Amino acid sequence: MKVLVSDNISSKGVEILRKAGLDVDVKTGLKPDELKSLIGEYHALIVRSATKATADIIEAAKNLKVIGRAGSGLDNVDKAAASKRGIVVMNTPGGNTITTAEHTIAMMFAVARKIPQANASMSRGEWEKKKFMGIELFNKTLGVVGLGNIGGEVAKRAQALGMNVIAYDPFLSEEKAKQMGIQKMEISEVINNADFITLHTPLTAETKNIINKDSIKTMKNGVYIINCARGGIVNEKDLFDALESGKVAGAALDVFEKEPPQNNPLVGHEKVVSTPHLGASTQEAQENVALAIAEQIVDYLVHGTIRNAVNFPSIPADQVALLQPYITLAEKIGGFASQIFEGGITEVAIEYRGEVSMLNISPITIAAIKGLLTPILEETVNFVNAPFIAKERGIEVKETKSTDAGDYQSMIALKIRSKKKELLVAGTLFSKKDPRIVKIDEFPVEISPEGSMLFMYNNDKPGVIGNIGNLLGKNSINIARMHFGRETAGGKAISVVNIDSPVSEKLLEEIKNLPNILDVKVINL
């Protein structure tokens, strides 16, 4: 079988592939048209971040069985297009964890002690001790936003430095936080109480611009902000204004909204330490991910074993056709529920009703957990590690079966609990390829869980639907579908609108302010 390595990886990884008897071509720097013209002859594609495995390239890949990413991020791979073609997408979660955590700590030291600025001054032949007065990290409060693999390693190192660590993570239980010696808080509390704020979340609709002028106003005067996660989590204009006013004493940025940044006033700012996305750039990390992805590709192509797949669980080949529709349904239910639930999850109860209860439910449960965790943790979650991540975060997973599915042949019901509240989302299959969400708490609905959606709680009053439609129409946003459910006439209701284009933050605020709208969330599946 033929393997194309289209980005630079360690030669040791290439050697592993060739020793396994695979025919390997290393062709880096290919333009999209060049890649499209030759991808049809390959069975595997290995990329890092430079190659863009877009839908049209995947469509041209007639023989492709697997795409492997030497690293964790998968922004450059169209996972939906690959899944439709039955192409397994793998990454190497954890390969960059330590190196990114170390880089975060290094950036924190650098911005606190003004090391790059002092070095530049010395290079100019200057000796300006008073100008570069810094602060200690000892006894300061570090606020960690996102306590996944990287955030957890940063927290450990910060505690070793004598820092008080507080954290926000919607999937972290109180019990797990206590075990780690970390005080769990809501994100507003973390932002309000931290001397240093470090960000370790993926870029999603929920995390985009979470550091903005409004959140900065609530921070301590003289706070420091570190972002080694994703560009776009921090609103760069608002950060610049806060640096200029002195509200923010300094920032350390390894990532930017546009990379490489062009004419960005933060780069070169006297209060900013900036690096060109170096979080994963160590010799050890690059070798680790190259070896890992090479071994995973060999396992799949030579031995038929799937490891660290983000779009496919490990199930026997003869059960794929039967289980795949339910796996898709469960993942959709989990992803939907995660994006409308607020609070730290302590328990997930999955009930299988009707025909599905007689199947092998283990991979379906894993799919539900993966769907639940993915909106917050993104590329670090796959079908292999989802159960372990849930356990690490103190989330108890329960399964029950019932032969009675009511009006349906099969139903999967997912109940999420925190200490204060719970949410039920249930779904079924209208056909093998048509998953639907049919119940949210006590609201009967019929939702197609795909693409971008507006999810709203509203009062069941005349004019609600018309107001939403008019506002979206004025902003040139086409409505694909609309779904509604209500408890009683005139009471509380649910409205879900499938839309064809993104909603801006400004428009989202306008929708929230419409009469009888109680709450609005953007959901992406």
Active site residue 277: yes
Bridge partners of 437, per DSSP, are: 427, 447
The single residue listed with the structure tokens 């007065």 is: 133
DSSP-assigned letters across all residues of 333-384: HHHHHHHH--S---EEEEEEEEGGGGS--HHHHHHHHHHHHHHHHGGG--TT
Q: Strands 435-440 and 443-447: what pairing? A: antiparallel
Mapped onto helix, strand or coil, the DSSP state of residue 94 is coil
Instruction: Please answer whether residues 409 and 234 qualify as being in contact, where contact means their C-beta atoms are separated by less than 8 angstroms.
Output: no
- Residue 236 gets which letter from DSSP? H
- Strands 88-90 and 66-69, sheet pairing: parallel
Catalytic-role residue among 277, 307, 481, 483: 277
Q: Which of 280, 260, 240, 227 is nearest to 108 (CA)?
A: 227
What Å distances lie between residue 198 and 114, 154, 182, CA to CA? 17, 9, 15
Quote the tokens at residue 302.
């030579």
Omega into 260 within 30° of 0, i.e. cis? yes
Name the 3-class secondary structure at 241.
helix
Spell 447-460 as b/e; 16+ CB within 10 A means b: bbbeebbbbbbbeb
Sort residue 329 into left (φ over 0), alpha (ψ -120 to 50) or beta: alpha
Mapping DSSP onto H, E and C, the string for 482-501 reads: EEEEECCCCCEEEEEEEECC
Quote the CA–CA distance of 4 and 28 in Å, as a whole number.
Answer: 9
How many CA atoms, within 13 angstroms, populate the side-chain half-sphere of residue 308?
25
Task: Tell me if residue 259 is catalytic.
Answer: yes
Side by side, the strands of the sheet bearing 452-459 are 479-486, 492-499, 452-459, 517-524
DSSP structural state of residue 266: T
**From 259, 284, 342, 396, the catalytic residue:** 259
Using CA of residue 287, residue 291, residue 292, residue 297, what is the dihedral sign? positive
Distances (CA, A) of 501 to 35, 69, 273, 305, 475: 29, 28, 36, 38, 10
Catalytic residue flag (residue 230):
yes
Q: Which residues, in sequence order, are CB contacts of 24 under 8 Å at separation 6+?
A: 2, 3, 5, 14, 17, 18
Q: For residue 71, which of 87, 100, 95 has the smallest C-alpha distance?
A: 95
Only one residue has tokens 């000796």, namely 127
Choosing from 43, 48, 200, 230, the catalytic residue is: 230
Beta bridge partners of 45: 4, 67
Token reading at 433: 């390829």
Residues marked as catalytic: 230, 259, 277
